[in-house]
Structure 1
Amino acid sequence: MADTQPTADSSFTDGAWIDVIRKMDETYSELLKYQVELEEKNSALEAMRAFMESVLGSMTDVLIACNLSNRIVQTNAALVRQTGTPASKLIGMLVADLFIETDRERLSNMLFAAAANAKTQRLELSIQGSNSAELLDIHAAPRIDPRGRVVGIVLIGRPVGELRRAYLELNNAHGTLVRTQEQLVHSEKMASLGRLVSGVAHEINNPISFVYGNAHALERYVGRLEAYFDKVQAGAPREELIEARQTLKIDRAVANLRSAVAGALEGAERVRDIVESLRRFSAEGNGETQLFDLVAITRTALTWVVKAHEPRIHVAVTAPEKLLVEGRGGHIQQVVMNVIQNACDSMEGKESGEIAVEITATQDEAILRIADEGPGISPEALLKLFDPFFTTKPVGKGMGLGLSISYKIVKEHRGMLTAVNKSSGGAMFEIRLPLSWQGGEAER
């Protein structure tokens, strides 16, 4: 009997089966992995769907998604509440059927424009509610597919009444803010006025004292002359008149009479000049632009502000005799006074200090530099120096509006207000103003 041995064909068949089984195991493993991934993605999609439904359900604005045939494909609970129509009946409806008849043509034009131009459109349209129509502020935005094609329109509507209430609240809040700002600016102006009055009081005190002293001298001279002429009128003898003339010092009184009158007139004229400066300061702040002398208003500002600090603060002025600039002189004088006041405040506590003022001009602009010998400005403060309500002064010494207002005034004059620290110590403020708002050169 012959031996039975496996042939080559049967050996090959067993190996093939083993490969098939191995491949089946790999395929099954991959199927399991894909199934797990698919279930995870389905869970994620379900979570996203639930999230979107919760978002749509919580929206108070009406949302309508429609196709290019203007039929509704998706909506939210706000529309159901607004119209009283179940969501199942809303799907597939023409969106125009939700609005009152007189607004349907405008709605159609808006939908066409949104689809044709691929841009958001906006209209106020009335939607037919369950009881009555309500005016909505409607935004129509194109719905774009991943390939960039317009496939429909999304409408979002908010009741106009709600918008108007929000606008009214915003307008009231803005009005309150404006009134508060005006009160703060008024307080800052009153503080500036207080400093101005203090300087003017010092300035006007000398000529008033001069007038007062000469008036008293004139009163004494008049008394002597009246006593002497009473004797003359009474027919007193010549010897008595000579004695009275010597006793009453009539000759000296007559000799001093003109100088006393001249002194009183000089003091009165100085008071008149101060009042005239105040009048110009008030009149030139009325908003009208005109030529004003920058040198003159700077000297006046120095006189009014620094008078309260004399003799502790010395002033050095380098300036031409006259430099005319176009603008509002009263406003610029307010700026100059504020900068000078800050320079004086920076040297508070020092036994002495100097304010250096330099006025120059280029072909197109006037340049005013005011430097002090104070401690200078910190790098942090330099960044916020012209911000409203920023101040380095102690509480009660300032609200931080002076430089902010000054910066605004100079900017309105198409100029620039800047501040730097001097290498030798102290701060320097520079005010640049165009000589003419029309671009021409003013008279110098």
Structure 2
Amino acid sequence: MMDRTLETTGSSPRWRFGIGARLVLAFVAIVGFAVVACIVGWLSYKRLSGELSRMTDEQMPQLAFASRLSKAGADIGAVTAVLAGAESRTEYTEIRNTYTMRLATLRALLEENAAQSGTTALLPLSEAIAANLNRMDLAAGKRFTLREAMRSDIDELRWVQADLLEEADPLVDDIRFNIETETRNGQGSAALAEQQKSEALLTVVSQANLATGLIGRLVNATTEEEMQETNAFLGDSADELASRIHSLDGWPDSITVRQLARRILDQSSAATGIPNRKRSEMLQAGTLGQLAGENARLVEELGRRIEAEVVAIEASAGEAARRAAAAIETGRSLLVAIAVLSVLVATAIGYFYVQRNLVARIRLLASAAGAISGGRPAAPIPPAQADELGDLSRALTLFRQTRDELVQSAKLAALGQMAAGIGHELNQPLAALRAHIHSAATLIGRGKGDQAANNLDKMKGLTGRMADQISHIRRFARRPDAQLRPVDLVAAVSDALSLLEHRFEEEAVELELSLPQNSPVMVMAEPVRLEQVAVNLIGNALDAVTERAERRVSVAVDATDRKAQLVVGDTGHGIASANLSSVFDPFFTTKPVGSGLGLGLSISYNIVKDFGGDIAILDTGPTGTRFLISLKGPE
């Protein structure tokens, strides 16, 4: 049997005898055994098939229904206890909405499975719960309306109390003045009358304050005993207040005080005031508690019936499983001999063809793929043969080329992002050149050749600076060499900082630089790719501090025995713990859409691994992140 895979060489297709065809040919014998096994299995498993069909058609849907039914009942039971204890209309509405949603879920589930035997008994219970819930809504609505009215009355009483105090203070001062005057004039009876008015006025104020406090306590009462006790005190205070108000009727100056005190007295009335509303609110609370108890009873009954339905479904499923297990045991014994013979034939095929041919080549391909994806020096790719593994060999070769192209593209993309800064670096010397040219022309016109020559020397220096900048950009943009050699890490970091210098200025970022002075730090690397790693890490650090109040990037190089370290830190938000394992993955980024492809750290990781070094997150947190790169020194 020929493999019908079509291989294209140039423009002429040809047929090939690939791995698929070889395996088909090799496993013909096993297929024969499989056919025999199928015949035996069909005879043995016919019974099993029937049992499995019944389990699939009947038991599995019933078990799924039982699981969903149990959850729906548990959800309703969980919210029942807290519904009656809601202390505000908003809290009650939120709990009520949750309760309604869960009850609707249960009813939809019961209606969807109306054919189940136990569903008929559950539907009336759910409807009874819904009806009882509506009655609870009425009681709760009345209760919360009364409570809101009482809170409004209490607020009004506090204002009335404040006005009463404000009106009483000047009257008390007047009475004291009158008492002193009458006493000096020897009018003892008049002074005594003023004293009695003072006592009546102060008593009105104190009793009004006491009544207001008792009303506030009454509104917050939670038990019948507490309400009755407070009502008794409030009645005594109201009687005293009424008596004192009456004693002030003949004093025209106290009319405002009397009006304010009567408003407090009106709210103290057991028939029409706040005590009456409190009694009504307590009655509604009691009704709500009774309805909640009835609701709890209905939910408990619903839970018992759901539990009985689930137990019945589980028992039916268990019986079906036992019948299926018996059918499996019967078929197992019949297939042992065929399985042993099939294993012997498959072992021979696996050793002589799969192990000694296919697996050996696959291992070589896996080693090469791991080296390519891990950024390690490329392992040899086995030569392509005329089969599917040969196609994989060619694909890995192309993948290695694509990886190198991706590194180059990322580097050019970084140059594109730095284009504005590079333009700024070139525009400054150009502007200076124009100024020096104009100045030199003016000096030459005035016959001052020496000063003009000085301007020309400055122009020469500026052109040299521009040439160095363009040479640096070209060097960074060119394709790197594969050969590693000793490279000055300090110089590579300095070159990277020169490409990003404009961002530090434009974004007002402070640079903390710690580099060895007048002593190179040599590492085994390739200069262009090493500079690309530094650009990626410093650029990421600049991105991390963009929206921070404290914008600081630190770059430090440290040399040890035959080893060098580069540490790049920032004062950004840090890396979330959930993202720590993914920061070096290709295309992983936390930046907004359009701000990056998530390739910088992945490419840097592969480059450092290719150098035989290591890159890791040194530390991270709310105050910033530091990356550590370790590189080998020259031998």
* Range class of TM-score, shorter chain: 0.5 to 0.7
Contact 1:287 1:328 in 2 (8 A): yes
**SS class of match (1:121):** helix
Percent identity among equivalent residues?
Answer: 27
Partners of 1:40 and 1:305 in 2: CA distance: 71
Q: CA deviation at 1:176?
A: 8.7
The equivalent residue for 1:326 is 524
Give the 3 Å change call, closer, same or farther, for CA 123–377 of structure 1 in structure 2.
closer
Equivalenced residue count is 283
Contact 1:211 1:265 in 2 (8 A): no
**SS class of match (1:330):** helix
Q: CA deviation at 1:332?
A: 0.7
Of 188, 195, 201, the residue aligned with 2:410 is 188
Of 196, 207, 210, the residue aligned with 2:432 is 210
1:387 has 2:557 as partner: no
Contact 1:122 1:138 in 2 (8 A): no
The equivalent residue for 1:12 is none
Q: CA deviation at 1:277?
A: 2.8
Of 312, 326, 331, the residue aligned with 1:47 is 331
The structure whose residues are more often helix, as a share, is: 2
Gaps of 5+ in 2: 1-322, 360-384
Of 268, 287, 290, the residue aligned with 2:463 is 268
String of CA shifts for 1:17-73, please: whole Å, max 9, x gaps: xxxxxxxxxxxxxxxxxxxxxx999955542367789x99xxxxxx97599xxxxxx
Contact 2:605 2:615 in 1 (8 A): yes
The structure whose residues are more often strand, as a share, is: 1
Of 290, 296, 316, the residue aligned with 2:491 is 296
Contact 1:356 1:370 in 2 (8 A): yes
Partners of 1:407 and 1:41 in 2: CA distance: 54
Contact 1:317 1:357 in 2 (8 A): yes
1:254 has 2:449 as partner: yes
Partners of 2:568 and 2:333 in 1: CA distance: 68
Q: CA deviation at 1:359?
A: 1.1
Of 330, 337, 351, the residue aligned with 1:121 is 351
Contact 1:325 1:435 in 2 (8 A): yes
Provide the alpha-carbon RMSD of the alignment: 4.1
Partners of 1:66 and 1:214 in 2: CA distance: 90
Q: CA deviation at 1:304?
A: 0.8
Give the 3 Å change call, closer, same or farther, for CA 45–166 of structure 1 in structure 2.
farther
Moved more, 184-193 or 164-173: 164-173
Partners of 1:350 and 1:310 in 2: CA distance: 16
Q: CA deviation at 1:221?
A: 3.5
Instruction: For 1:333-344, list aligned pairs within 5 A.
Output: 333-344=531-542
Partners of 1:174 and 1:377 in 2: CA distance: 34
Gaps of 5+ in 1: 1-38, 57-62, 68-73, 76-110, 125-136, 140-162, 225-248
Q: CA deviation at 1:182?
A: 6.9
Of 368, 371, 376, the residue aligned with 2:574 is 376
Give the 3 Å change call, closer, same or farther, for CA 173–281 of structure 1 in structure 2.
closer
Give the 3 Å change call, closer, same or farther, for CA 421–306 of structure 1 in structure 2.
farther
Q: CA deviation at 1:210?
A: 2.3
The equivalent residue for 1:313 is 509
User: What TM-score comes out, normalization by structure 2 length?
Assistant: 0.39
User: What TM-score comes out, normalization by structure 1 length?
Assistant: 0.54
Q: CA deviation at 1:409?
A: 0.7
1:363 has 2:561 as partner: yes
Contact 1:314 1:355 in 2 (8 A): yes
The equivalent residue for 1:158 is none
String of CA shifts for 1:49-108, please: whole Å, max 9, x gaps: 67789x99xxxxxx97599xxxxxx99xxxxxxxxxxxxxxxxxxxxxxxxxxxxxxxxx
The equivalent residue for 1:403 is 601
The equivalent residue for 2:423 is 201
**SS class of match (2:352):** strand
Contact 2:564 2:630 in 1 (8 A): yes
Q: Which has the higher contact order (CA 8 A, sep 6+)?
A: 2
Give the 3 Å change call, closer, same or farther, for CA 279–398 of structure 1 in structure 2.
closer
Moved more, 319-328 or 357-366: 319-328
Partners of 2:478 and 2:396 in 1: CA distance: 31
What one-letter code is carried by the residue in structure 2 that aligns with 1:378?
Answer: A
Instruction: For 1:128-277, list aligned pairs within 5 A.
Output: 167=389, 187-222=409-444, 224=445, 249-250=446-447, 253-277=448-472
